[in-house]
Chains A and B, each alone.
Chain A
Amino acid sequence: MLRFLFQRLVVTIPTLLVVTFMVFMIVHLIPGDPAQILAGDFATPQVVKELRAEWGLDRPLLVQYGSYLKNLAQGNLGTSIASRRPVTAEIADRYHTTLSLAFWGTLFAVALGLTAGVVAARKPFTAWDYGSMTVALVGISTPVFWTGLILILIFSVKLGWLPAGGTGSSLKYLILPAVSIGFFDAGVVARQSRSSLMEVLGQDYVRTARAKGLPEKRVINKHAMKNAIIPVITIIGMQFGRMLGGAVLTESVFSLPGLGRFLIIAISQRDYPVVQGVCLVLALSFVIINLFVDLTYGFLDPRIRQ
């Protein structure tokens, strides 16, 4: 297992290097001069030139990329052009908000999606199946920001039960955002779990388990679910990664100070180090999640471990 982990980690390094290169080049393609933005509209060309030199923006792109990599190797993501604070500190301030949002959103998606998927697969082509799959389809067809607005309208404006936005130590601030982001993914999880469970339920060993007289609950939980869950876990992992990157909409609706909103602001300010840092952290999170998903496969299926 350790060897597998090591091999996977080694493979991720070139991927991340390519990500840093691509993001670096793309970010510098974005029109606009950060020095000009920082200096303001009324700054003299001399001031802009000095700022450009101060931030190293006047050097050739590849030289800038080289020094970026050198700093990166030392765990330094650079300094935000807008706030003049270290990018790592800026990201650290916001990462937990996005991570908690993605975590609770995924938890909601798994709880609702898996239940709907199992119910549908156990009673295929019945009202239960059609009902759960309709809810799943509505889930994947509804824009997350609209779900968020409707939830705010019902639970904050009309009923006054939950806050409409902002952050706090209480979990109640995350309930509506998590449900809003998770509802979409619940649909994806429900559809995937239904189809993979239905496929497994048609296998010979499930028929054997039923023929032995095992109760249906045990057949599903002990025999079918273990084999059906691997594709579902892949989807959950992918959706979790997507939530981290795609949380910008939910963060925007609920005014959450997360990475997504931070990235949008950084792009508009041409804050290159922040854009690069956030993209790298998101890509790294995605890679780690995939690694974790791969390790879970080994845990669930001994054949993969070998």
Chain B
Amino acid sequence: MAARSERRGARWLRSPAVRRFRQHKAALVGLGLIIFFTLMAIAAPLVAPYSPDDANLAQSLAAPTRAHPFGMDALGRDILSRCIFGARISLTIGLVSVGIGTLIGLPAGAVSGFIGGWFDRIVMRVVDILLAFPPILLAIIVVSIFGPGLQNAMLAIGIAQVPIYARLIRASVLKVREELYVDAARAAGAPEWMVLFKHVVPNSLAPVVVQGTLSLASAILSAAYLGFLGLGAQPPTPEWGSMLSKGRDFLRVAPHASIFPGVFIMLTVLSFNLFGDGLRNALDPKFTKR
């Protein structure tokens, strides 16, 4: 049994998609960075040199030193430690909001594309209208309704992603539902819901997986945007966007307070974009060098 699963694992690693992914060096760098940030987030209390909330006003806005490589913020807190703990917030926001977007957008888009007709038309019009609002604007409106805060920011970003997933899975379902194996499943007497969720949806997921990775990047960016506008995580939560927002008041005297949180946002977003690109190349050979 163990040998069989080992063989299956080895075969999976040799599959063309995995081979293509492994050839994509930038994607491997992205994956490496994602692993690095994830481990950093999990082990934040162990790796951060100080507590993110330890304030020492005597060291307010102190420049980087060996003891505090990223310097101190306006309240005299260690920026490196806050950046490390910030990874927890950003990755959580990314994962939860993508989860919300997928959880609502995926069934709505899949059912819409599968059954078509008036239901499809209504869902797609709603999607069109939601897409007419820039995601950040939609997120701002949702946060205004529910109030600023980390949980509401996740909800807002997740809702803003719903139309993207709905449209994407619908397009994919429209193509897959015409496949022969779908007709075969019907001919075998499978009920419609089973045809949809057992045969059509699993075969329509590839673009959603790629989009999911890229959405994580944009969700982390959106969280930073909301944090920057004061609508996301509230103080003293060490969230990168709000750290940057507070730091910009002291841009002239303490640029480090704005530079380092920005570098963390950029690197995390970059890692998911690199990984997403690699995944797309692996799943769609059209993008690969021949």
Contact = CB atoms under 8 A, between A and B. Distances in A.
Interface stretch (A104-112, A138-146, A209-217): A138-146
Contact residues on B (Cβ < 8 Å of other chain), bracket: 35 or more
Q: Chain B's interface: helix, strand, loop or mixed, by majority?
A: helix
Contacts of A279: 133, 137
Contacts of A230: none
A268 B230 CA distance: 12
A153 B251 contact: yes
Interface residues of A, number: 43
Interface of A: 15, 18-19, 22, 26, 29-31, 124-125, 134, 137-138, 140-143, 145-146, 149-150, 152-153, 157, 195, 241-242, 244-246, 248-249, 252-253, 263-264, 267-268, 279, 282-283, 286-287
Contacts of B245: 145
Interface string B165-186: 0000000000000000000000
A147 to B, nearest CB: 9
A268 B231 CA distance: 11
B103 to A, nearest CB: 21
B252 A143 contact: no
B244 interface: yes
A243 to B, nearest CB: 8
Given A26-B141, A246-B137, A141 B270 contact: yes
B144 interface: yes
B265 interface: yes
A246 B136 CA distance: 6
A143 B140 contact: no
A150 B262 contact: yes
A279 B262 CA distance: 30
27 contacts: A15-B125, A18-B125, A125-B289, A137-B270, A137-B273, A137-B274, A137-B277, A141-B217, A141-B221, A142-B265, A142-B266, A143-B224, A143-B228, A143-B262, A145-B225, A145-B228, A146-B262, A146-B266, A149-B248, A149-B258, A149-B262, A153-B255, A241-B134, A249-B229, A267-B144, A282-B134, A283-B133
Interface string B235-256: 0000001001100100110010
